[in-house]
Chains A and B, each alone.
Chain A
Amino acid sequence: NAGVTQTPKFQVLKTGQSMTLQCAQDMNHEYMSWYRQDPGMGLRLIHYSVGAGITDQGEVPNGYNVSRSTTEDFPLRLLSAAPSQTSVYFCASSYDSGNTIYFGEGSWLTVV
């Protein structure tokens, strides 16, 4: 049972580069979300999805895109990386938004 799988675990990008953080879950969860965690800021919601084909913005969506073409996958795209996007990114999923949230192991991203 893989749970929530995030890749890559570590990435260094140059300013202006684009990349995609992958997130997949095998629990048939409808609700998926992306958070970033910065020191002293807690977990901040970037984008979330309540089902395939449906996405919405969270608290800090600027500079990020998402899509949800399947129930299993919820990739997060950085369009043009900036040093302010240096952070730890967590993908999460749950059966629905009110149930236990399962987190991926995190992706450590550094933008230089």
Chain B
Amino acid sequence: EDKVVQSPLSLVVHEGDTVTLNCSYEVTNFRSLLWYKQEKKAPTFLFMLTSSGIEKKSGRLSSILDKKELFSILNITATQTGDSAIYLCAVVGGSNYKLTFGKGTLLTVNP
């Protein structure tokens, strides 16, 4: 059975801190790994990673994939209160390349 495990499940930091969110996976026929941010409604897309060692970056957020060790990290530098959200990791793989989500990391950034 395909598995995606995120850690930590929740995290509380102060504005300006740097955070690292982790996602490990076990899937057959790995195709890609995706990161999403979810505030009050539907998840919004952050990154899609398919190749090891290539960092994707968008502003203060960055992510990298390690296909040998089967994990990805999402870094957020200089956190702001607007970064407070659930961050979801999902992996495309398995039979019919279905998408499997982790349970998410709830990030709270306090002023």
Q: How far is the CB of A3 from chain B (nearest CB, A)?
A: 10
| Contact B97–A98 (Cβ < 8 Å) | yes
Contacts of B90 in A (CB 8 A): 43, 101
Interface residue tally on B, bucketed by range:
20 to 34
Query: CB-CB contacts of A48-83 with B at 8 A, as 1s and 0s?
Result: 101000001011000000000000000000000000
- Is B53 located at the chain interface by the 8 A CB criterion? no
Q: Pick from A12-20, A21-29, A103-111 the stretch touching chain B.
A: A103-111
Q: Which of B84-111 contact A (CB under 8 A)?
A: 88, 90, 92, 95-104
In the complex, which residues of chain B have a beta carbon less than 8 angstroms from the beta carbon of A58? 98
- Indicate whether A105 sits within 8 Å of B41 (C-beta atoms), given known contacts A42-B88, A98-B32: yes
B52 CB, nearest partner CB in chain A, Å? 16
Whether A90 and B31, one on each chain, are in contact in the complex, defined by CB atoms closer than 8 angstroms, is no
Give the number of residues in A that approach B within 8 Å (Cβ atoms). 25
Contact string, B33-46, partner A, CB cutoff 8 A, digits 1/0?
01000000111110
Given the complex, which residues of A lie within 8 Å of B104, measured CB to CB?
Answer: 42-43
Chain A residues near B (Cβ < 8 Å): 33, 35, 40-45, 48, 50, 56, 58-59, 90, 92, 96-101, 103-106
Q: Which 5 A-B pairs have the closest CB atoms?
A: A42-B103, A103-B42, A97-B97, A43-B101, A98-B31
